[in-house]
A and B are shown apart, each in its own frame.
Chain A
Amino acid sequence: MEIDRIIHEPARLRIMMILSGLEQADFNFLLTTLSLTRGNLSRHMEKLESAAYLKVKKSFKGKIPNTSYQLTQKGSKSLAQYWENLDSVRQLGNSR
């Protein structure tokens, strides 16, 4: 049983959890909800994107660029698997 290291990082776990409740959310929403810095959030998003857990959609709202994120099927499955594994580890810890 292996815990997914990409998801296990607290900020990334929160990002994945937020996106799992929605169809998509933009960078600003994640920024205000998580209160991370822009650079920090960007780094996390890049990591998740490179793992193919997220789909990125770039567009313009008027003249302002807007980046939206959506959880991929792989991302959803990995997140579900992560919780399953984590719960097993916790149960194992509690039984000892």
Chain B
Amino acid sequence: MDNELNISQDQNTEKLKEIPKWTRKYAQNRTLTIIVLMAMIMLFSMLFAGGMAFLLVLATAGFRKGNMVLVCVGIAASVAVLAAMLIFLIITLKKFGGKNRGMLDQMIDQRIYGKEGTVSVPVPKSSKKKMCLEIVTAVIFFICFFGTWNLAVKGYIAYKYLQPVSALYFVPYMFCGWYFFQSPRIGPIYLLHPMLFAIHAILIVAGVPMFFTTENFCIFSVCLPYIGYGFLAYVIGHIYNRYALKKLKGISHFQGEAADGD
């Protein structure tokens, strides 16, 4: 009887030791915030790109028909949209950039997970050196991105191989980005994103037709997998977050009311 009691106590103790692990997993996978942020950025970009495209098409059509009023209206409206976008960016950076970096995430996080309370995992220490490295890697990334796209449009890279070639810099960039800048704020589930992107590239090389073949849409061969797999990784992260919370509550919940502070 005593032996059975000892074994049960040992098991309980071992379970208690798992609390920090599940707490951290829960905190690292509050990824619905990132999904909302992604959706907001996408919606904003689509609205901006769509508006600009419509106005430029309008101006071009006016020019072809010799309707100068339409051309002027189109150009003036494009400039106004561009100016509005710049003002919006300046206001956003002023409010949520610099010292307030991460405040927007916190606000969304509070809206989504507010009922469960607020938790935070250690944020990677920011330094000037780290910030410079972050900027330099981002610049290199964009040079690679637009360079590859340009080479594909000029015919140096077949449209079929645009995504696999992009994977050569996308995957290391995402791995390094996570390891140097995000970990331990975001858990290893984030690594699903580059892994799925790499698998997509391998499948294309193996002959699976998962790409766009026209010039106008070739960029989507890269953008759609990037956004889609990112979305998928974060959805999986959120599901794992629910599981971690259930596990955590299972270990730390009290059946009855615990004794008070004395």
Q: Which residues of A contact B (CB under 8 A)?
A: 9-11, 13-14, 17-18, 20-37, 39-40, 43-44, 46-47, 61, 66, 68, 83, 86, 90, 93-94
Contact = CB atoms under 8 A, between A and B. Distances in A.
* Chain A to chain B: the 9 pairs with minimum beta-carbon distance, closest first: A29-B117, A21-B20, A43-B261, A28-B117, A21-B23, A17-B19, A21-B24, A11-B258, A26-B118
A31 B117 CA distance: 8
Interface stretch (B192-200, B223-231, B246-254): B246-254
Nearest to A18: B23
Nearest to A35: B253
A33 B118 contact: no
B138 interface: no
Interface stretch (B119-127, B154-162, B211-219): B119-127
Contacts of B23: 17-18, 21-22, 25
6 contacts: A9-B259, A14-B19, A18-B20, A21-B23, A33-B249, A35-B249
Contacts of A33: 117, 245, 248-249, 252-253
B257 interface: yes
B120 A13 contact: no
B117 A27 contact: yes
Contacts of B252: 14, 17-18, 33-34
A29 B254 contact: no
A21 B118 CA distance: 14
B10 interface: yes
Interface string B1-25: 0000010001001001101111110
Interface string B83-118: 000000000000000000000000000100001111
